[in-house]
Structure 1
Amino acid sequence: MKFKMKKCALLVALATSAALPSMSSQAAGTITFGEDKSISIGFGMIGSFSSVENGAANGSSRSNDFDLNSARIMISGSLNKYIKGILTTEKDIAGEGFQVIDAAGIIELTPNFSIWAGRFLSPSDRANMAGPYYSLGGNYWASIASRYGFNGGYIGRDDGVAVVGNLLEGRLNYSFGVFEGNTAFKIAPVAGQVASVRGSDGLMYAGRLQYDFWDLEPGYYGTGNYLGTKDILAVGIAGRTQNNGAVSAAEQGKYSSYSVDFLLEKKGVGPGALSLEAAYYDYDTDDVFLSEQGKAYSAGAGYIFNEKVGWGQFQPFVRYQKFNADSKIDIKKYDLGVSYIIDGYNAQVSGFYSKQSTTNVSDIDSIVFALQLQF
């Protein structure tokens, strides 16, 4: 038995080319015990300090809070060349325990085709597939534009099965699956949503297609930004539907959504690399939840400098999100900040200013500093 530390994405180790980002993004401890047999374990955390205008209990003073936004234990394993698996936990809302968010078996029939079964991220937009650990700016969850409270209940995860693969020499990536859907959203409950008795028990169907024009992005779980390591020009489309996917205490209706996302990253643009991203979303709950039905938009831009300053590189960024709900309550948010990239997504510090505007509600200004570590 041999124990070794290697620099790689932990979830890449679980399924090599069939699984997650291929960029170096996380250190993990790997125990190997035979040909194609291994177990990897890793830990990730995001902590932050935030100061929010009128966020104190009296309603008029700024709040000042330290938060443990995320704490994850990640385990992956390989039984042989074809059978692999993952287990990921996330702290619960109270921060006093952990719950399972990923628990999936992966059958890798060929290097270009695999079957996932269990609980995992269902096919969706780039922002949801990347999550807060692998997105531009650090500690970033695109929850205003990328809304998956109805279909995918465990931080975007759901129970089901999916096929994952690629064609055209790896340029066309696809994933299609069938899932439980309509799952109680444990981490961030949606007001009025229930997961109780339904008139029928239809499944949710979800899929994603992505074409890579420049460098390839192999894998299933995505990366929101490559931090100047790749030239990326990619367009993706995603959709999901469930006949009884929107269920309230009084009524139920069909849930459907689709999105289009775009990412461009180019090295050698002056003294660094430029990144541009954008996405469009359309959500329909059959008028059951007008507050979750409507159109959404997001955009972002970043620039990472090649030259290191001290331990790492600076990456200033700007982000924008907007959700036009059919309830006539619109939400938009701007972020302006800078990240200090010490070791890719293993170690980085970010600070940003945010302004969120909601119809008939006072604007919220906040300043956030976040630390992300993965081992």
Structure 2
Amino acid sequence: MKDLAFVPFPCFFSLVNKNDMPRYTGRIQVNLKDAEEGFFYSGNYLGKKSIISFGMGLDYQQDAYATVDSTKAKDYTAWTVDVYFDHPVAANNVLTLQGAYVDVKNTPFSSVTDGVNTYFLEKMKMYFAEGGFLINGTWQPVARYYYKKVEVGGVDGKISEVAGGLNYYIKGHNANIKVEYAQQLKDETDDFKNKQITVQCQIFI
């Protein structure tokens, strides 16, 4: 999307959910091997669990928002499916793979701007896949691919990205260092390539 920049916060105004409609959300997940406890999942168990899971989720709100020039409110709908695999293949070696697809229509929770006007996303389709291999419980090379297509204000835009990195686990999730290089891919709507290097250090005492 060449002329639109993403806004990292919702843009609320008087026509968002003017009828005070409730928002419904839910998720179903099936684990074929070990269970995952808690509300938030680890995403990387470092060999302590064997996870094979399939999940799906739905988010819906009737009459979520209406534009200033429209008398009919639009329903917001989002759904997703995902798969996750995290399994020890040898002593202290773990293969981790995951992927997901997300489909969103008429969301008032994300917006884009052209510098003058702000628009809610009318449609968004996104998918990603990533994987990593933990070696001797310490080093973990990782790779990721990400693709997103949006429609807003009658304009389509695409963003795709590849990334690779290396994680060093000093003491599991309590102490580690992660380095990643991400490269935005060029497509028919973008004539630039963003490049980013991220370094993270995490310590829990």
Please classify the TM superposition score into its range, dividing by the shorter chain length.
Answer: 0.7 to 0.9
SS of the residue corresponding to residue 219 of structure 1 reads coil
- What is the aligned partner in structure 2 of residue 371 from structure 1? 201
- What is the aligned partner in structure 2 of residue 349 from structure 1? 177
Q: What is the 5 A alignment of 1:1-375?
A: 188-190=8-10, 193-197=11-15, 198-246=17-65, 250=69, 252-269=73-90, 272-285=93-106, 291=121, 293-306=123-136, 313-326=138-151, 327-357=155-185, 359-375=189-205
- Structure 1 pair 267–328 and aligned structure 2 pair: CA distance change class (3 A): same
CA contact (8 A) 2:18 2:65 kept: no
CA distance in 1, matches of 2:91, 2:34: 20
CA distance in 2, matches of 1:291, 1:205: 19
- What is the aligned partner in structure 2 of residue 74 from structure 1? none
CA contact (8 A) 1:194 1:249 kept: no
CA contact (8 A) 2:32 2:53 kept: yes
- Structure 1 pair 353–292 and aligned structure 2 pair: CA distance change class (3 A): farther
CA distance in 2, matches of 1:348, 1:268: 22
CA distance in 2, matches of 1:301, 1:292: 31
- 1:194-227: CA deviations, max 9, x gaps? 1434431101100001011011112222222212
CA distance in 2, matches of 1:369, 1:324: 27
- Structure 1 residue runs of 5 or longer lacking an equivalent are 1-148, 150-184, 308-312
CA distance in 1, matches of 2:185, 2:9: 21
CA contact (8 A) 1:264 1:275 kept: yes
- Structure 1 pair 363–219 and aligned structure 2 pair: CA distance change class (3 A): same
| Bigger proportion of residues as helix | 1
SS of the residue corresponding to residue 130 of structure 2 reads strand
- Structure 1 pair 297–348 and aligned structure 2 pair: CA distance change class (3 A): same
CA distance in 2, matches of 1:230, 1:249: 51
CA contact (8 A) 1:194 1:247 kept: no
Number of corresponding residues: 183
- What is the aligned partner in structure 1 of residue 115 from structure 2? none
**1:374, distance to aligned residue in structure 2 (A):** 3.0
> Identical aligned pairs, as a percentage?
26
CA distance in 1, matches of 2:78, 2:178: 32
- Structure 1 pair 189–213 and aligned structure 2 pair: CA distance change class (3 A): same
TM-score (normalizing by structure 2)? 0.78
CA distance in 1, matches of 2:66, 2:132: 39
- 1:2-23: CA deviations, max 9, x gaps? xxxxxxxxxxxxxxxxxxxxxx
| Bigger proportion of residues as strand | 2
CA distance in 2, matches of 1:245, 1:200: 9
**In the alignment, residue 190 of structure 2 is paired with which amino acid?**
N
